[in-house]
Amino acid sequence: MSTVTVGQENSTAIDIYYEDHGSGKPVVLVHGWPLSGASWEKQVTDLLNAGHRVITYDRRGFGQSSKPSTGYNYDTFAEDLHKLVTKLDLRDFALVGFSMGGGEVARYIGKYGSDRVSKAVFLSAVPPFLLKTADNPQGVDAGAFEGIKAAVAADRPAFLSQFLLDFFNVDVFRGKLVSDQVVQLSWNIAASASPRGTLDCVTAFSSTDFRGDLKRIDVPTLVVHGDADRIVPFAVAGNRMPEFVKDCKLIKLEGAPHGLIWTHASKINPELVHFLG
């Protein structure tokens, strides 16, 4: 199993699990909450076929990575990513973030710059800033996120079942663009995550302000977001990205849900391959 050690908690190393396939120009895929690198299944094949080296990894607390009780904040997530990039000595690589993973893309460039980064992609991503505040009136009320945290704490497996129905807009796409088995697979992955990490990440992705990070992005940037996203609303997130990232390309996918990397892979993947080519 391929891992990079990013820290220590008491007697236990904190290891990040990753997969590194193919050859060519590197692409690092950063997954969403509460899934793992396995969620990139439909993108990995097409990117490999297009001649890319494709690296996926599991955020701490998720998938096959260690599940510590600490470090569930974007400075630490970006540091974990930086340690992986450094271990693999990646240069001229693209960073692609889905949902919560878009925060890593933003914070990584905000913190470490773009010397090694060639391009950035945000898919259904949480930046620029989800939380409604005095200087961010377009955001989502804090009560919505407190409700999510309460539901996770009360009955995480039951919460995940309901969450995934809205993640894929199952009432609209069941049997057409998403199967019950895909929803079950996603539940299995999410249910195996750290309960502490699952909870703490809600605070991280809802309350982290990425506006300053985005202004530091100076590489070609692609933003793709569905206008039927029930998890990260298009109006709050994707639609606002051009305010902060100079000359970014924004694609609004009509009717697409949050989990568009599965449901709308046939539309996203050609755009991704073209942009990264």
Give the tokens for residue 277. Answer: 């080519």
Nearest-angstrom CA–CA distance, 250 and 107: 20
Give the tokens for residue 247. Answer: 């000359």
The residues, ordered by sequence, that sit 6+ positions from 258 with a Cβ below 8 Å of its Cβ are 99, 124, 166, 167, 168, 169, 226, 229, 230, 231, 232
Nearest-angstrom CA–CA distance, 249 and 29: 19
Question: How does 6-23 read in b/e, with b if 16+ C-beta sit within 10 Å?
Answer: bbeeeeeebbbbbbeebe
Residue 229 is among the residues annotated as catalytic for this protein: yes
Give the tokens for residue 63. Answer: 């998938």
The reply to whether omega before 233 is within 30° of 0 (cis) is: no
Local structure of residue 149 (DSSP, 8 states) = H
Give phi and psi for 5, each to the nearest 5: -80, 125
Q: Are 236 and 210 in contact (CB under 8 A)?
A: no
Residue 207 is among the residues annotated as catalytic for this protein: no
Residue 264 is among the residues annotated as catalytic for this protein: no
Q: Which of 66, 99, 186, 194 is catalytic?
A: 99
Residue count of the chain, please give it: 277
Give the tokens for residue 246. Answer: 């100079």
**Active-site residue set:** 99, 229, 258
